[in-house]
Amino acid sequence: MMALRSVTVPPDGGDDTFRRIARSCLAQGLHPDEVVFDADGTGSLFEPAEPRDAPTILMPRRFVELVSDVVCHSAEDRFALLYRLLWRVQAGERNVLEQAADPDVQRAQQYAKAVARDVYRMHAFTRFRERMIEGRPMFVAWFEPQHNVLRKAAPFFADRFTNMDWIIATPCGTAAWQDKSLHFGPPVARPPKQDDAVLDEVWSTYYRITFNPARLRVNAMLAQMPKRHWPTMPETTSMPQLVRTARTRVKEMEQRAPDRPPRFADVLSERQLGAAGEAPPPWEALKEAAHACRQCPLHAAATQMVFGEGPLSASMVFVGEQPGDQEDLQGRPFVGPAGQVFDRALAQAGIDRGAVYVTNAVKHFKFEPRGKRRIHQKPGTIEVTACRHWLRGELDLIRPKLVVSLGATAALSLAGRPVPVTKERGSIQSWSGRAVLVTVHPSYLLRLPDPDVAAAEYDRFVADLRRAKLWCERAEQ
Ligand code: URA
């Protein structure tokens, strides 16, 4: 009778593990029927030592790709299946994968497909929440894939969210992107229900707005977005109601006159109607591109993107946080209550608002709906990072002598790190080769409850603006 050899397969064994085990088994001439692959990795089993002279295994490229998917599958027979196929390849069936009707090939292809689907779902359904960890903003997410796809899925997030630090925890391990390098670690316990009212609201609003009742296919939706992922996806709380009211909404849509095209469609059609081949000037092109920006969910709930305004020859650029309620409605920066304080302080410092460029770190209004009101929410690193591209573009075009950073969000965007504004206010910093005067945000002055403190702080703000003016004048001499 043939003696069976058992091989321990570590639960997170990837293609390297498979290759090592397979090399060893092949070197010992073990037929697939002579090996039992213990997929839960708990037995005190034969761990095949790799003989020194174990031959290198040559695998066709398609087979290598198949291995890299199939090893991630959670099926217990994944290694046995691959070893059987490999044995056949080594025995001369180099084209085994082309035999589409072969039961082993079919099963391996099914496993590979399931893994690819799981990777896709992880990319689509992972939801990050911002947390402060050891004084640094960190985006954390919990995701439960069906297969062991963390290592396969993680590089996508590193590409997509290069400029933030993040951790994705799963029941079979964690992936962390910190200081621009990717690390994998052991699993952690499932966290209690994740809760971040602000971010959750943004996702729900985004989902509600983009949901098209006329295209609702409940079965397809459930197949695409399996219910087991719902607990970590804030937008799913809106789903039952959207599904319930879909029919009525479709009827209403049919009876309504056609909607006005969305703003970016206007922009596109204007461009198409414009002189053929004529590129818009760089600032207009930048603003136009910012109108179509979908890098973070804020665009979904805001009325419009609010870009900077002022002469492109300005020697001073003022950077605020984000448009407020009034700015969002009017499409211009600093026109609401904070804008009034700002205008008064500028005038007192002898600065002509018409001669400076005024903009924001974040170009869409972030708010929390409360009844009919929209309550301002401070933008987080996710939005500041996503929007930094536009601010940089404005500054690169204008090349001012001095940038005045109003408040912590502007400083975060300009410095690329959190800045203690009250400590550094009045100072002139050099950030990314730009001279930046740090000061408080005008809305901070509106929030001070004690009138004496408010008056003193306002005077300090005007003094900061005077300093900025003087500095610019000197730089121009
Ligand atoms: N606050 C800002 O930071 N920017 C504005 O445009 C309005 C209020």
Atom nearest to 406 CA in ligand 1? 3
Could you tell me if 391 and 445 lie in one domain?
Answer: yes
pLDDT score of 67: 94
What is the model's pLDDT at position 52? 62
Query: Based on the domain organization, do 371 and 232 belong to the same domain?
Result: no
CATH number assigned to the domain comprising residue 461: 3.40.470.10
How far is Cα 162 from Cα 169, in angstroms, rounded to an integer? 18
Q: How far is the CA of 324 from the centre of ligand 1 (A)?
A: 5
- Choose the residue to mutate in 334, 340, 342 for probing ligand 1, maximizing ligand atoms within 8 Å of C-beta: 334
In a domain, 420, yes or no: yes
Are 99 and 222 contained in the same domain? no
Atom of ligand 1 nearest to the CA of 333: 6
Cβ–Cβ < 8 Å for 290, 342:
no
Using a 6 Å cutoff on CB, does residue 308 contact ligand 1? no
Q: Assess whether 79 and 222 both reside in one domain.
A: no
**Does residue 245 form part of some domain?**
yes
Per residue of the chain (477 residues), what is the pLDDT tens digit? 556 788 888 777 788 889 888 988 888 889 999 988 887 655 444 555 555 666 677 788 889 999 999 999 999 999 999 999 999 999 988 888 889 899 999 999 999 999 999 998 898 888 888 777 777 778 888 899 999 999 999 998 888 788 788 889 888 888 999 888 998 888 877 776 656 555 565 556 555 655 677 777 777 777 777 777 777 777 677 777 777 788 787 777 766 654 443 444 444 444 444 444 455 568 988 998 898 888 888 988 899 999 999 999 999 999 999 999 999 999 999 999 999 999 999 999 999 999 999 999 999 999 988 877 899 999 998 899 989 999 999 999 999 999 999 999 999 999 999 999 999 999 999 998 899 999 999 999 999 999 999 999 999 999 999 999 999 999 877
Whether 442 lines ligand 1, by a CB cut-off of 6 Å, is: no
My answer on whether 154 and 202 are in the same domain is no
Nearest ligand 1 atom, CA 358: 6
Task: Report the 3 state secondary structure along the chain.
Answer: CCCCEEEECCCCCCHHHHHHHHHHHHHCCCCHHHEEEECCCCCCCCCCCCCCCCCCCCCCHHHHHHHHHHCCCCCCCHHHHHHHHHHHHHCCCCCHHHCCCCHHHHHHHHHHHHHHHHHHHHHHHCCCEEEEECCEEEEEEECCCCCCCHHHHHHHHHHHCCCCCEEEEECCEEEEEECCEEEEECCCCCCCCCCCHHHHHHHHHHHHHHCCHHHCCHHHHHHHCCHHHHHHCHHHHHHHHHHHHHHHHHHHHHHCCCCCCCHHHHHHHHHHHCCCCCCCCHHHHHHHHHHCCCCCCHHHHCCCCCCCECCCCCCEEEEECCCCHHHHHHCCCCCCHHHHHHHHHHHHCCCCHHHCEEEECCCCCCEEEECCEEEECCCCHHHHHHHHHHHHHHHHHHCCCEEEEEHHHHHHHHHCCCCCHHHHCCCEEEECCEEEEEECCHHHHHHCCCHHHHHHHHHHHHHHHHHHHHHHHHHHC
Q: 195 C-alpha vs ligand 1 centroid, how far in Å? A: 28
Note whether residue 286 is domain-resident: no
Is residue 354 in some structural domain? yes
Q: Is residue 73 part of a domain?
A: yes
Residue 409 CA, closest ligand 1 atom number: 3
Answer positive or negative: Cα dihedral of 448, 451, 452, 457: positive
Statement to judge: residues 390 and 304 lie in one domain: yes
Say if ligand 1 is within 6 A of residue 328 CB.
no
Q: Is residue 180 part of a domain?
A: yes
The atom number, within ligand 1, closest to the CA of 407 reads 3
Number of other residues whose CB lies within 10 A of the CB of residue 185: 11
Kindly give the distance from the C-alpha atom of residue 476 to the centroid of ligand 1, in angstroms, as a whole number. 28
Domain encompassing residue 221: 197-255
Pocket of ligand 1 contains residue 324 by CB under 6 Å: yes
Decide which of 135, 154, 185 is a domain's last residue: 185
Indicate the number of domains in the chain: 4
320 C-beta closer than 6 A to ligand 1: yes
* Greatest C-alpha distance within the chain: 99
Indicate if 244 and 337 belong to the same structural domain. Answer: no
Ligand 1 pocket check for 97: Cβ under 6 Å: no
Q: Give the mutation target among 387, 409, 441, 444 for probing the ligand 1 site: most ligand atoms within 8 A of CB.
A: 441
Cβ atoms within 10 Å, residue 46: 15
d(C-alpha 21, C-alpha 437), whole Å: 61
Ligand 1 centroid to residue 306 C-alpha, Å: 10
Q: Which atom of ligand 1 is nearest to the CA of 338?
A: 8
Same domain for 443 and 402, yes or no, is: yes
Rounded to the nearest angstrom, the distance between the alpha carbon of 167 and the centre of ligand 1 is 32
CA of 130 to the centre of ligand 1 (A): 23
Q: Which of 303, 318, 332, 360 to mutate to test the pocket of ligand 1 (most atoms within 8 A of CB)?
A: 360
CB 236 within 8 A of CB 226: no
Please give the pLDDT value at position 40: 61
Q: Give 164 Cα–ligand 1 centroid separation in angstroms.
A: 24
Residue 52 CB partners (closer than 8 Å, separation 6+): none
Compute the distance from residue 404 Cα to the ligand 1 centre, in Å: 13
**Whether residue 104 is found in the same domain as residue 10:** yes
Mutation test of ligand 1: which of 303, 309, 327 has the most ligand atoms closer than 8 Å to its C-beta?
327
Q: How far is the CA of 6 from the centre of ligand 1 (A)?
A: 67
Tokens of 204: 């729900």
406 Cα to the center of ligand 1, angstroms = 9
- The reported pLDDT for the residue numbered 215 is 72
First to last CA, the chain: 97
Last residue of some domain: 92, 120, 148? 120
Give 271 Cα–ligand 1 centroid separation in angstroms: 29
Q: Is residue 261 part of a domain?
A: no
Q: Which amino acid is at 457?
A: E
- One domain, residues 381 and 243: no
Please work out whether the CB of residue 145 comes within 6 Å of at least one atom of ligand 1.
no
Could you tell me if residue 22 is inside a domain? Answer: yes
Q: How far is the CA of 85 from the centre of ligand 1 (A)?
A: 63
> Do residues 405 and 452 share a domain?
yes
Of 63, 94, 120, the residue at which a domain comes to its end is: 120
Are 37 and 177 in the same domain? no
Neighbours of 88 (CB within 10 A): 18
Distance between Cα 156 and ligand 1 center (Å): 34
The CA R_g of the chain, rounded to the nearest whole Å, is 29
